Amino acid sequence: MGILIDRSTTILVQGITGREASFFTRESLDYGARVVAGVTPGKGGQEVYGIPVYDCVKNALGNHRIDASVVSVPPFAVRDAALEAIENGISLLVVMTERVPRRDVAALLHVARENGTRVIGPNSLGLISPGESKLGAVGGNVENTLRTFTQGPVGVMSRSGGMTSEFANLLGQEGLGQSTCVSIGGDPMIGSTFQDLFPLFEEDGQTRAVALFCEPGGIMEEEFARFYAARTDPKPVVAFIAGRFADQMPGTRFGHAAVIVEGDRGSTRKKRELMQKAGIRVADRLSDVPKMIKGLLNHGHVH
C-alpha cells in the first residue's frame, strides 16, 4: 500500500500556471496521479492540461474533494500559500520551493502542527508510491518514472531530491521494488523528518525494510538513531551517509542549505557511530545498500 498517498489521492497544485508546476502537472497526469485542480491568484477560470485553475484554495474546494496539495510558488509566497491550504483543511502538503525564509517555514509548520496537517519539505521533489500515485516532480517524465520506480517492499527516505530516484533505481536493479519513496527536503528546517515518517513505514504492511539517504550537517540522523534505538523490534533500516569528506572541512557548506558541519555536530562520523550503535546498518558505498537490504530480507529480519 505504501504511505501517505494511493491511487485515490486527489491533488491540488498551488502555482499551477508556473513553468515548473505545469511541467510536473503534465508528468503527474501521465503517471496516473489524480490532479483535480490548480490555484494561481488572478488566473481563475483558466485551464492547465484540462485542469481547472482557481483564484484561491477555498474556491477549488468548493468544486473538488482535495486530499493533498503541492506548493510550487516563489519563496516569498510560500507562507501564504501553505497557510491557505492548511487553514482550509488540506491534510497533506508538499512544499517544493527552496530558499523559503526560515521565519516563514517556522510559522507555517507551527500552524500545520496545530491543524494536524503533514508537511513534506520545503525543498522537496515530492513523493511517490510506485504504481499508485506521485506528488510533485520526483521521477521526472513518465518513461523515467516507470523505469526508475517499481512496486516492492522497501521504503525510501532521502535528504536529496535527486538521490531519491538514484536510490530507487539501484534497488530496482537488484529486484527490490519500493513501497513509497519520499524526498524529505534539503533545507535546515523541514516539516517531516526521518523520525516523523518512520512510524508510517512501520505500520505499512507492504514495507519490510527502509533505506535512508543521509547527508552531513544537522542532527536529523542522530535524533533518528536515538529514536530507533528506543523502539521495540523495529523494521530493519539501511543507511548511506554521503559526503564523508565534509568532516575534514568543518564550517563549510556543501550542496543543500542544511549541509553544514560545525565541529563534531552534524559530522558523518558522529552520525555513523550513533546509527550503528542503534542497530541501523550503515553502508560504506551506495551500491552496497541493495545487497545489505537483500541480506536482511533473506535472513528473516522482518515482521
Output the CA torsion 205→154→188→219 (10° steps).
90
Q: What strand order describes the sheet that includes 178-183?
A: 133-136, 126-129, 178-183, 151-158, 209-214, 237-241, 281-283
Annotated catalytic residue: which of 256, 299, 301, 303? 256
Cell of 123: 525543498
Cell of 114: 496545530
> Do residues 210 and 235 touch, judged by C-beta distance below 8 A?
yes
> Do residues 17 and 218 touch, judged by C-beta distance below 8 A?
no
Instruction: Please give the single-letter amino acid code of residue 7.
Output: R
Neighbours of 165 (CB within 10 A): 24
Helices (H) and strands (E) in the chain, counts: 10, 14
CA distance 54 to 196: 32
256 catalytic residue (yes or no): yes
Hey, which residues are catalytic here?
256
